[in-house]
A = this chain, B = another copy of it.
Amino acid sequence: MSSSDTQQHRARAQDRLSEALAQGSLADVRRILLKMEPADVAHLLASTPPRHRQVLWQMIEGELESEVLNELNPELRLEFLSGMEPSDLAQLAATLDDDDVADILQQLPDRVTFEVLDAMDQQDRSRLEQVMFYADDTAGGLMNTDTITIRADLTLDVVLRYLRRHEEIPEMTDNLIVVSRDDRYVGLLPLRTLLVSDPSHSVREMMETRQAPIPVEMPDDEVARQFERNDWVSAPVVDENGRLVGRITIDDVVDVIREDADHSLMSMAGMSEEEDTFAPILKTARRRTVWLAINLVTAITAASVINAFQGTIEKVVALAVLMPIVASMGGIAGTQTLTVLVRAIALGHIHQKNQLWLVQREAMVGLINGVIWAAVVAVAASLVFDDWMLGGVLAAAMVINLITAGVSGALLPLALERLRIDPALAGGVILTTVTDVVGFLAFLGLATAVYGT
């Protein structure tokens, strides 16, 4: 087996669906859809262009609808939900996880949110309001309230009998949460421990107290780092008084990890991690146009630097030929440094004491690679244009620009981070402006000094 059966199976289902859609045989489409897993339907919707997507969505009903919504990426989910009635939304909400419903409601207009909350039963509403109280990029926004709690003074035997009275234990339950009489977090009793221990022991004897609970205000990326570092499946969440308010499970954390990692990638091209691959033409054009406008400012800034040296270029046209090399090598070197820093910041690798070392290293790396490639390019240019002066100017400009690229590629994200501006989003544009301007200025400036105007 070179690839997976499941994958092939899914691809086949998709092919049959596409054919059925193309032929307009909606009965076939419905039949195939109903046999698919919700996660696969969500994946299918995400990879279908707009027109067919709407057709597909309209054929998904009842329980499958809420299960599919639960699996969809946030942008698509919001698109589908915006078209629904508040009463249908309230019904749907009852079948989704608290944290997902909270996310959805926070994205909808306030008016709709209130209508949906009104249409819910008392219990659902109060549980939900608890989660919605917290920002969705904090532990509170990630958590669910489906905890199973026990007291420390019980024996394991009693715990086992208590569990048996449950219809079911929530998914991703690897620990029972031990709390005090006033609901303060005390420790965890892993199911793994419960199952192998002598039932006459007490919870207090067997519970683990090493795992610190997660404060409800902790940012979601820090929650993700804690999960990754400690290999948790679930973790208890406490409020500022140490009272248990819910628990976070690894499936939601995996989404945070995926989104954070995608965030760096997409932001560096001026897009959002929630960007829908198959967004319609006009929506796509509108979103991208802002980024182009911002980069146009960069390009015009660079052009106006060149503009100042028209006289020199008229005299030595070879400058026009070579100047993009200086700018582009600077841009490439700077982007490398910037990317390393953006990732390091996302991973929490950067702190006060190690920043200076990084900036210094990047300056040295810029110097070394600048000298190497400046030498190569300068010799080649000197031979082609039969002008060793030109080669010298080119080499000097490249070294200057590569050192600038290294230093600014390292300093920029650190400065932006401190100003609470997303370095992945803003870093690239500012960096390119710097390397373009310094590159053209150094090259054409030195040339003017050497050749005169």
Contacts and interface: CB of A to CB of B under 8 A. Distances in A.
Interface of A: 1-7, 11, 14-15, 18, 37, 39-40, 42-43, 46-49, 71, 160, 163-164, 166-174, 191-197, 212, 214-215, 217-219, 222, 226-231, 233, 240, 250-251, 253-255, 257-258, 261-262, 264-266, 268-271, 275, 277-278, 280-282, 284-285, 288-289, 291-293, 295-296, 298-300, 302-304, 306-307, 310, 313-314, 317-325, 327-329, 332-333, 335-336, 338-340, 342-344, 347-354, 357-358, 361, 364-365, 368-369, 372-373, 376-377, 380, 432, 436
A241 to B, nearest CB: 11
Nearest to A251: B231
Contacts of A325: 296, 299-300, 302-303
Contacts of A302: 324-325, 328
Contacts of A369: 285, 288-289, 292
B229 A40 contact: yes
Contact of A163 (B195, B251, B365): B195
Contacts of A46: 347, 349
Given A322-B303, A324-B299, A291 B353 contact: no
B166 A269 contact: no
A349 to B, nearest CB: 4
- DSSP majority for the A interface? helix
B353 A277 contact: no
Given A47-B349, A313-B317, A192 B173 contact: yes
Contact of A361 (B43, B284, B350, B376): B284
Contacts of A328: 295, 298-299, 302, 432, 436
A396 to B, nearest CB: 17
B303 A365 contact: no
Contacts of A253: 254
A15 to B, nearest CB: 7
B320 A212 contact: no
Contacts of A4: 214-215, 217-219, 222
Nearest to A356: B49
Given A268-B265, A322-B303, A222 B7 contact: yes
A308 to B, nearest CB: 9
Nearest to A7: B222
23 contacts: A3-B219, A4-B222, A15-B352, A43-B348, A163-B196, A166-B196, A168-B196, A195-B195, A228-B254, A254-B257, A268-B268, A268-B339, A270-B332, A284-B365, A289-B373, A291-B332, A298-B328, A300-B325, A300-B380, A313-B313, A319-B320, A320-B320, A320-B323
Copies of the protein in its oligomer:
2
B329 A296 contact: yes
B324 A292 contact: no
A404 to B, nearest CB: 15
Contacts of A43: 229, 348-349
B285 A306 contact: no
A245 to B, nearest CB: 13
Contacts of A169: 192, 195-196
A265 B261 contact: yes
Contacts of A348: 43, 47
Given A195-B169, A196-B167, A233-B233, A364 B281 contact: yes
A285 B364 contact: yes
A304 B386 CA distance: 16
A269 B171 contact: no
B357 A49 contact: yes
Given A47-B354, A164-B195, A258 B228 contact: yes
A317 B310 contact: yes
Contacts of A173: 192
B277 A250 contact: no
